[in-house]
Amino acid sequence: MAKMAKTTFEGEVYSHRQLWTAARSMRARSDAEKKGSMYCDMVAMLLARLTVEAYCNFLIHVLDPDTFDKEREIFGSSTDRKLQWVCGRVGFALDRGRRPYQTVKSLDTLRNRMVHAKPEVYTGEDIHSVEEERPFMRPGELEKCVSPKLCTRALEDVDLLCEELHKQILASADRKQKRRLEPYALKGSLQRQASSSKLA
């Protein structure tokens, strides 16, 4: 009869890094494909916003698992409340009146417009020369929130906010927390796992 082994393992998937990788991938695709790039930027910006929420969830889980168990009751669906809680917990001074926070907050607006999109009906009148081509269609609300410049800014500011917050957290984290946090917020492995085996 063959000898049997028992392997035990524990691991963690870093969802915030997966989302961040996807956001950066969509941004790179936007740069490579000019036709339809607005849609890639839109997805990249939404994924950047989701990265912030997933990162806050991760930090709450690392810093206070009991609070994480009740996160739905405590924070509802507010990423902003989660971010405020994390900042307060580690003494991070978040300037809500400027970048990068203001950019992250604008991503909430985009997310809400996408999730709660409604029909947009418009009318208007343009006076133009008969030699000129008539004006093109008006942009919708989503289009007004998305551009290559806004997307670049969104990704820069999400990265900046998360990395600055991460440095502050690492400064006061215990050894167990540091192992889970790793050196960077958004850069690094997407998953970790440790295992050991012994004869059964």
Instruction: Give the pLDDT score at 92.
Output: 94
Domain membership of residue 1 (yes or no) is no
Residues facing 11 on adjacent strands = 193
- Provide the residue range defining the domain that includes 17: 12-116+138-190
Instruction: Give the pLDDT score at 132.
Output: 82
Share of the chain above pLDDT 70, in %: 100
**CB of 17 closer than 8 Å to CB of 181:** no
Residue 134 above 90 pLDDT?
Answer: no
Burial of 114 (0-12, 13-18, 19+ CB in 10 A): middle
Instruction: Give the pLDDT score at 187.
Output: 95
Q: Per-residue pLDDT averaged across 65-72, rounded?
A: 95
- In this prediction, residue 41 has a pLDDT band, given cuts at 50, 70 and 90, of very high
How many domains does the structure of the chain reveal? 1
**CB of 105 closer than 8 Å to CB of 80:** yes
Instruction: Give the pLDDT score at 131.
Output: 86
Which CATH number fits the domain that encloses residue 163?
1.20.120
76-98: pLDDT as tens digits: 989 999 999 999 999 999 999 99
**CB of 75 closer than 8 Å to CB of 68:** no
Tell me how far CA of residue 173 lies from CA of 3, 89, 131, 168, in angstroms. Answer: 43, 11, 68, 9
Domain membership of residue 124 (yes or no) is no
